[in-house]
């Protein structure tokens, strides 16, 4: 069970009179948003690059994987294409890391 003091918003001190509203807003953004530039960058890469590249890699991966049984030398190429297929997953994880 999660303890209340371990939650990210437990130490925000929102009700403290010493803090200005700008300080409270900055604290909320840094605690909950992480790095917004990183999130935007990885989201653009995810939408405009990784889906297209993953589709091309998936098509090529199916063909190369088929011939890998006959030609074991194609294993390195198929592993590289598999990483290309998994690129949207990597980009989505980077977006989530940027939000944390």
Q: pLDDT of 14-65, one tens digit each?
A: 445 556 666 665 665 566 566 778 888 888 999 999 999 999 999 999 999 9
Q: Is residue 12 part of a domain?
A: no
CB proximity list for 91: less than 8 A, separation 6 or greater: 42, 43, 45, 46, 50
Q: Is residue 86 part of a domain?
A: yes
Rounded Cα gap, residues 97 and 100, in angstroms? 5
pTM, full prediction? 0.62
Q: Is residue 27 part of a domain?
A: no
Q: Is residue 24 part of a domain?
A: no
Q: Is residue 29 part of a domain?
A: no
pLDDT, mean of residues 68-83: 93
Q: Is residue 26 part of a domain?
A: no
Rounded Cα gap, residues 76 and 73, in angstroms? 7
How many structural domains is the chain composed of?
1
Residue 67 has pLDDT above 70, yes or no: yes
What is the domain extent for residue 63? 34-100
Q: Is residue 11 part of a domain?
A: no
Which residue has better confidence, 76 or 16? 76
């Amino acid at each position: 069970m999660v303890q209340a003091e371990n939650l990210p918003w437990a130490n925000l001190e929102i009700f403290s009179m010493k803090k200005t509203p700008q300080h409270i807003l900055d604290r909320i953004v840094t605690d909950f948003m992480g790095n917004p530039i990183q999130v935007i960058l990885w989201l653009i890469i995810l939408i405009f690059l990784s889906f297209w590249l993953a589709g091309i890699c998936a098509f090529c991966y199916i063909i190369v994987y088929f011939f890998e049984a006959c030609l074991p030398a194609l294993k390195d190429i198929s592993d590289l294409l598999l990483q290309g297929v998994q690129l949207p997953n990597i980009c989505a994880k980077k977006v989530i890391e940027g939000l944390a």
